[in-house]
């Protein structure tokens, strides 16, 4: 009986720790710049980390970048800062932008 109580307690602790970790709102970065520096505005275009035919556009300092999309048969090539046909696209390592958007206040 004692083992059953310990098992139930361990199960409840595991479920609680998983639910509290999921509710923290921590997500993987997408490469979206916060556009908080002059350098980010002058570079203007940043790759999306997961969607290869999307990219971020910094237009106004202090306003997070907006998402843009390449035409259908192309992908964003960060080395050229341009959309290119898929046949010309190649992988390159991702780098975090100089700033990230400020977290939303709940």
47 Cβ contact partners less than 8 Å away, ≥ 6 residues apart: 31, 55, 56, 76, 78, 94
To which H or E segment does residue 38 belong?
Answer: helix 38-43
In a domain, residue 104? The reply is no
Domain count, the chain: 1
In a domain, residue 1? The reply is no
pLDDT per residue as tens, the chain (106 positions): 665 554 444 434 444 444 334 445 667 899 999 999 999 999 999 999 999 999 999 999 999 999 999 999 999 999 999 999 999 999 999 999 999 998 876 6
Locate 16 and state its tokens: 């609680």
Q: Which domain holds residue 62?
A: 29-95
In a domain, residue 56? The reply is yes
Q: What is the pTM of this model?
A: 0.73
């Amino acid at each position: 009986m004692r083992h059953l109580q310990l098992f139930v307690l361990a199960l409840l602790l595991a479920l609680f720790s998983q639910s509290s970790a999921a509710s923290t709102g921590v997500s993987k970065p997408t490469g979206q710049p916060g556009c908080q520096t002059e350098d980010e505005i002058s570079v203007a275009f940043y790759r999306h980390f997961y969607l290869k035919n999307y990219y971020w556009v910094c237009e106004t300092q202090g306003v997070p970048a907006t998402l843009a999309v390449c035409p259908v048969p192309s992908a964003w090539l960060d080395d050229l800062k341009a959309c290119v046909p898929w046949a010309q696209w190649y992988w390159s390592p991702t780098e975090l932008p100089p700033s990230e958007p400020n977290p939303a206040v709940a």
